[in-house]
Amino acid sequence: MSKIKNILLVHGFWADGSCYREIIPTLLAEGYEVIAVQNPLTSLEEEIAVTKRALDRIEGKCILVGHSWGGFVITIVGNDERVAGLVYIAALAPDAGESMIDLMSKYGSPSPHFQEQNGFVWISKEGIDEVLASDLSEERKALIHVTQTTPSISLTEVKASLPAWRHKPSWYILATNDKAVPPDLQRDLSERMKAKTVTVESSHFPMISHPKEVLEVIREATATYQ
């Protein structure tokens, strides 16, 4: 048995790579090569290009980790032969021809805390508290608000191509108190993928509120027989 040493972390809406800061030091200390991809959230094509550029920086197989919208990205980039497995954290996992709106519209209406300006969407401090991060410290909520990357509204409508989860091992961390990606949607996606699923009592950022559980799933994903 050998262990995959490369891990790519892909963030979602209203976030950047710093959303993984609670788990990165531990992964590095354990000898993993880690890249937190800084996606611009401007177009799916650019998301894929930036993630693949990060993939080009590593040698050997890797595990892709996607949070929220990042799950959409790893679902497509995961088709690359260098990707050995996929870890979804409260994430979208579309099938071919599905968009974010297709997935989310069945489970409720968008929060009024999401505001569109010039084709991009930002979230208020109240939205971070009520929708994204109710179980985090005030300091951490403030950091998320200050560092938020505003996504293009167009990302909610783009359609996925062939999903990597159909032929790659997948894990899913389901956040039961999430008000951004509904837990029922997470459950339906994880079951459709036949992913190995771990449930945590968390809001939308389990890697911040439950880093130990997230690390355990990533460690499991990196262990493979060759």
Q: What is the pLDDT of residues 174-198, one digit of tens each?
A: 999 999 999 999 999 999 999 999 9
* CA–CA distance, 25 with 34 (Å, rounded to integer): 9
pLDDT digits (tens, 9 = 90+) for 121-173: 999 999 999 999 999 999 999 999 999 999 999 999 999 999 999 999 999 99
Is the pLDDT assigned to residue 108 strictly greater than 80?
no
What integer is the mean pLDDT of 75-80?
98
* CA–CA distance, 108 with 213 (Å, rounded to integer): 28
Rounded to 5 degrees, φ, ψ at 123 are: -125, 140
* CA–CA distance, 85 with 87 (Å, rounded to integer): 7
Is the pLDDT assigned to residue 212 strictly greater than 90?
yes
Nearest alpha carbon to residue 87 among 74, 98, 103? 74
Is the pLDDT assigned to residue 225 strictly greater than 80?
no
Residue found under tokens 């439950």 = 210
CATH of the domain at 91: 3.40.50.1820
Q: Please state, for a pLDDT cut of 70, what percent of the chain lies above it.
A: 97
Mean pLDDT (the chain) is: 95
Domain with 178, as residue range(s), is 2-224
* CA–CA distance, 179 with 193 (Å, rounded to integer): 22
Looking at residue 3, its pLDDT comes to 86
* CA–CA distance, 143 with 115 (Å, rounded to integer): 19
Count of domains observed in the chain: 1
